[in-house]
Each structure stands twice: as structure tokens, then as C-alpha cells.
Amino acid sequence: MRIGYWLTPTLAFGFAFAASGQQQPVAPLAKPGDSGPTLAETMRFIQEKLSEQGQVAWTETHSNQPGITWRKFATISDVMADPAACTFYSTATLDTSADLTKGKIVKMGGKVVTAEDLRIHTVTTATTSAKQIEKITVESLQDVENRSFAEAAHPEITWTVTPPIFYVRLSASNAVFSAHTSTTTGNQAPVEKDVTVKTGGITFRDEETANKVAKAMVHAMELCGGGVTKKEPF
């Protein structure tokens, strides 16, 4: 069996870079002129919620990879909110391992690989400005991944995520989300990369927390002057 179509998001700030599509919009906590939480309070709330998450774990099975179960463990750390700069800083770690059905032969690049060869460790440091976020939505990670394949002209490939993981999606019309990643696959040397994309996201184990953080981020975005709020003069 040949492994292909690697569209799993790369975590940063707990952010997962992913494709666009239909999501559920999130109502803001309050408009900038209302008597809602201050920017400092809002950003501190987001920082605390992300920091207290601990490890978020799930498994994935892919329709084009029978006999393989992927296990993923994501942790966000060193989250720092800077209200004066309307900016979040963080480090995220994603560990991926593969459980192979006994007797299953897997190939990559024409070579047979083992479960150890498929082990992936990624560390991402990210800087995200609330001023540059234009839209925030909430959806399931499974929907994000399956939509990515459909948009890549592979609707026949589907992924199943267990248990359900929820995803707060941040988007902008320009590539404004930046991060540095260090990825180690098996026993290979780490690969360092700087990325800048239009879409980022945060993974959560429960929908309630995802919605709370999303609403707080909408409020921070608006207080910082982000969001698509420009209107035609006439």
C-alpha cells in the first residue's frame, strides 16, 4: 500500500492551517462601543483557555489507507497575549504515530516503511495578530479535512476523526498567519520551515470551549480593528 495525500493540518498557536469552506459563523461577545470585556480581559481569557487545555488527542482513519490508524496528540504551550500589540504568541506540538494491522505492508517513495518510520513530531512557534483576522468560525476537524480533499479534487477520500474534535477557524484575504515549524519524521533529521498562510485554526476537545474562545476572539478582533467591517460610502 502506498501512502499519499497528506493534507493533515499543521498546528500553530494550536492553529491548524486548513482549507476554506462552509462553517458556522460565531456571534461576537460585544461590539467595540458596548460595555463588554476590555481588550486586556478578553485576551487574558483566551490565553488562559488555551493554556489550560493540556493535550488534545484523537485518532484518524483514512479511506485510502485501510489497515492504518493514525494517533495524534496536540499540545499548546507558552501562550502569551500582548494587548498593546493585539498579538498572540505560542508554541504548539503535534505528535503523530501509526498503528498498522498485523501483516500490513506500507510503502513510501517505493520503499517499505515501519510504524517507527511513520512517527512524526512537529513543533510550531507562531505569531498571530488579532488586527489581521477577518473572519472566525467553528466547525469539526473531520469536516475540515474532508473538505480539503474535496477541494483538491479527491472527494473519494474521506477521513474519520474519533472522538469529535472542534476547530476554531481564523481567516484573512491575505497570507497574514506566520509560523516556524520543525518537523521530524522517523529517524530523519528535522526539517525547518517558515510558513505564511491565509487560514489558521485552533483545535479543541469540546464544542463548548471552542465556542467560548471563538466568541472571545471575535471580540478581540473587533477591539483591535480586525474583521471585514468596511462598507461602501453610498
* Tens-digit pLDDT string for the chain (234 aa): 444 444 444 333 544 444 334 445 554 444 444 558 999 999 999 999 999 989 999 999 999 888 899 999 999 999 999 999 999 999 999 999 999 988 778 877 788 888 999 999 999 999 999 999 999 999 999 998 999 889 989 999 999 999 999 999 999 999 988 899 999 999 999 999 999 988 888 899 999 999 999 999 999 999 999 885 444 444
Sign, CA torsion 100/190/124/19: negative
28-41 burial, b at 16+ Cβ within 10 Å, e below that, comes to bbeeeeeebbebee
